[in-house]
């Protein structure tokens, strides 16, 4: 029997679903119900409504799924008429999503070496064992995450990681990519990619799922002609969810 790769679409709330074929992959589609919310003054209502309008989420179930999901996210975020720099940004994003959904520290070391131009052994030595332990703890948070395609966006030119309203937990470049000099330039070329994400969490023995945006910010390094990550974050436009540690950078 021929095996078929299966992605399972998840939702924040239980709902009925069906099966559809896209290409050679079988997808399960669910339509989540919209929750009843009382908006706080600190919420970003437009982003809340946009996030809750996303209807399809991919949950990788196999190694084949994990290999394919980054390509699906890139396709979803790709502008209609991408520039060469857009394509370069999407490739860095694809590499990072490949590590996020199938994390090993060795792959992360190779990625940092690629972005910084340093030998992998130098990167590993500079980061050290404590950094590896923190990275692995951060990576574990996303083991069972689900990713929304129809809300995936590439946004150029905004220095603020999120608009007014909502709350974000973020992690800045601690010097791994040396982005501080680039960001000090008021004309720095910036971009971010945000992906709707469902995370299973367990606060005080109360397991549930939360709906957020995974946000990745990048700055263009003209000297090396490469996009470098300068911040990652989890953005909650409702300002109502518990604080969840930011992703690794």
Per-residue confidence (pLDDT) for residue 34, from 0 to 100: 41
31 assigned to some structural domain: no
Which residues make Cβ contacts (< 8 Å) with residue 223, sequence separation at least 6? none
In a domain, 86, yes or no: yes
Rounded distance between C-alpha atoms, residue 98 and residue 165, angstroms: 30
Does a structural domain hold residue 249?
no
200 found inside a domain? yes
- Is the pLDDT score of 36 beyond 70? no
Say if residues 230 and 219 touch (Cβ distance below 8 Å). Answer: yes
Residue 52 belongs to some domain of the structure: yes
Q: Residue 20 falls within a domain, yes or no?
A: no
Instruction: State pLDDT tens for residues 190-246.
Output: 999 999 999 998 877 888 888 999 999 999 999 999 999 999 999 998 877 777 889
The predicted structure's pLDDT at residue 162: 64
pTM of the model: 0.82
Q: Treating both helix axes as pointing N-terminal to C-terminal, what angle do 84-101 and 105-116 enclose, rounded to 10 degrees? A: 160
Q: Is residue 34 situated within a structural domain?
A: no
pLDDT given at position 1: 40
- What is the tally of structural domains in the chain? 1
**Nearest-angstrom CA–CA distance, 103 and 120:** 17
- What range defines the domain where residue 186 resides? 44-236
Q: What is the dihedral of CA 100, 103, 106, 109, to 10 degrees?
A: 20
- 122-129 — which CB contacts under 8 Å span 24+ positions? 127/176
12 located within any domain = no
């Amino acid at each position: 029997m021929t095996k078929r790769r299966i992605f399972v679409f998840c939702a924040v709330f239980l709902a009925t679903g069906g099966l559809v074929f896209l290409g050679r992959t079988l997808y399960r589609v669910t339509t989540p119900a919209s929750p009843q919310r009382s908006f706080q003054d600190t919420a970003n209502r437009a982003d809340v409504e946009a996030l809750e309008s996303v209807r399809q989420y991919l949950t990788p179930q196999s190694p084949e799924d994990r290999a394919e999901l980054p390509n699906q996210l890139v396709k979803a975020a790709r502008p209609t008429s991408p520039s060469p720099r857009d394509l370069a940004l999407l490739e860095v994003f694809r590499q990072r999503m490949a590590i996020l959904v199938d994390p090993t520290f060795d792959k992360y070391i190779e990625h940092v070496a690629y972005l910084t131009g340093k030998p992998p052994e130098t990167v590993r030595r500079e980061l050290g064992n404590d950094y590896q332990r923190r990275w692995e703890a951060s990576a574990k948070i996303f083991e069972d995450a689900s990713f929304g395609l129809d809300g995936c966006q590439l946004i150029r030119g905004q220095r603020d990681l999120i608009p007014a309203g909502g709350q974000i937990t973020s992690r800045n470049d601690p010097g791994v990519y040396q982005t501080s000099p680039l960001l000090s330039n008021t004309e720095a070329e910036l971009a971010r990619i945000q992906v709707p994400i469902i995370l299973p969490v367990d606060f005080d023995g109360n397991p549930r799922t939360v709906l957020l945006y995974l946000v990745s910010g990048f700055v263009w390094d003209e000297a090396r002609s490469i996009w470098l990550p300068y911040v990652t974050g989890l953005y909650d436009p409702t300002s109502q969810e518990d604080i969840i540690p930011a992703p690794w950078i």
